[in-house]
Amino acid sequence: MMICHLNLKAQRDAITYRRFYGDKESYWVGHALTSTPYHFVKGYSGGIGRISRAGQLKPEDVEKMREEDRISYEQKLEKADEIICTLQILHVSESTGLPLWFNNGLVEYKGDSNDQFVRAEGWVGHDGHWGGGLTRFPNELCISQLDGEFDRILGDERPPKTVNRFSPEMARTIEALIQEAQRWDRRCEELDLYVVRRTS
């Protein structure tokens, strides 16, 4: 109940959103204020989104390359590790290690438009490594799988690391959520409740 209280509009405006970074802290603060047991998950959160490769450039930068540079770049890219560059933070179930929920919404980047939905091609869980990479949006970071002991032994000879793929069932669920959001966007526009910002 304390978490709900901290997220009431009056409390959000006066305390939660002024003192914290959104509603996320209200969950552990609510538990702490009521002496309810809780714990933090080890490691950082994971991420979901488009699958790309470490060292991947933006298409417009590749187009500007000389032919021999482009061929060399494409050959290197084939051997590069897969990564997920995203703003969508993923949390996995501790019991199964599978995706449980993600935040930042279904829209890929709220600052640009709200008609481009996340392309959930793959995911990396709490055991990933966050860093830089191909970024399309402000504050976007990339996550990759961590090296295992076998990877360190193989060194440069190891195969490229891959990210997790969604099961067909999970992919259908995410697609159904996006279709429902699009349906509600259309309905809200019909009722003049809001205007969907579209990419140009």
- pLDDT digits 0-9 by tens, 116-165: 899 999 999 988 999 887 678 888 899 999 876 555 555 556 678 899 99
What Cα–Cα distance (Å) separates residue 40 from each residue in 23, 28, 46, 147, 165? 16, 9, 14, 23, 26
Q: Which amino acid is at 42?
A: K
Tens of pLDDT along 2-55?
989 998 999 988 988 888 877 778 888 999 999 999 888 877 889 999 999 998
Positive or negative: CA dihedral 51, 53, 58, 63: negative
The DSSP letter of residue 188 is H
Query: Do residues 111 and 96 make contact, with C-beta atoms less than 8 angstroms apart?
Result: no
88: left (phi over 0), alpha (psi -120 to 50) or beta: beta
pLDDT at position 71:
93
Helix boundaries (H) for 8-147: 9-11, 17-19, 24-33, 59-63, 67-78
Average pLDDT, the chain: 87
Q: For the full predicted model, state whether its pTM sits above 0.85.
A: no
Q: Residue 52: how many CB atoms within 10 A of its CB?
A: 22
pLDDT at position 66:
94
Domain ranges of the chain: 2-33, 46-190
SS3 123: strand
* Spatial separation of the C-alpha atoms in residues 112 and 128, rounded to whole Å: 27
Work out the end-to-end distance of the chain between its first and last CA atoms, rounded to an integer number of angstroms. Answer: 44
How many Å separate Cα 62 from the centre of its chain? 25
Phi, psi for residue 186 in degrees, rounded to 5: -60, -45
